[in-house]
Amino acid sequence: MVYIRAKKLHGLKEYKYAGVDHSLVSRYILKPFYNNVAIKCFPMSMAPNAITLSGFSFVVINFLTMLWYNPSLDQDCPRWVYASWSIGLFLYQTFDAVDGTQARRTHQSGPLGELFDHGVDACNTVLEVLLFAATMNLGQSWPTVLTLFGSMSILFHAMLLC
């Protein structure tokens, strides 16, 4: 069983990720923050995948607090829990944006790291939708399922087009 034809294998060696965001927020706020502030917080010795995993750990901690305070997704939580969720999401987003820059500046970029990053993004999407459902008190309902399905569909199509 052949998945990739021999004449197409050279394309794997030439592959280069090219994600582009032309939004004004990205251009004038996020990219300067990532490139001038966030990346300087990580030593050159830190592996890019360690940054990815560290960022994901914030989301896992958020998810565990959700399971503790709101396992049915339909109860109110203490205010500090919501604040910690927003901080965790911001940190995940920042770490996720910086891991690629770290990979390029340490010459460790490659398809395996990109696959790991996309896999973590997929796991994050599921957990963040459940955190959203808990924040909105959607409970274990069809709106939660539809939100999860819609988010995963968007993620799948975005990764398919990368």
Cα 5 to Cα 157: distance, rounded to the nearest angstrom = 24
Rounded CA-CA distance 49/15 in Å is 19
**Nearest-CA neighbor of 108 among 29, 24, 47, 160?**
47
Question: Catalytic annotation on 10?
Answer: no
Residue whose C-alpha is closest to residue 123's, from 58, 70, 41: 58
* Annotated catalytic residue within 22, 107, 118, 157: 118
Half-sphere exposure of 156 (CA within 13 A, CB side): 7
Rounded (5°) CA angle 23-20-161:
120
Contact 119, 63 (CB under 8 A): no
Under DSSP, the state recorded for 7 is G
What are the catalytic residues?
118
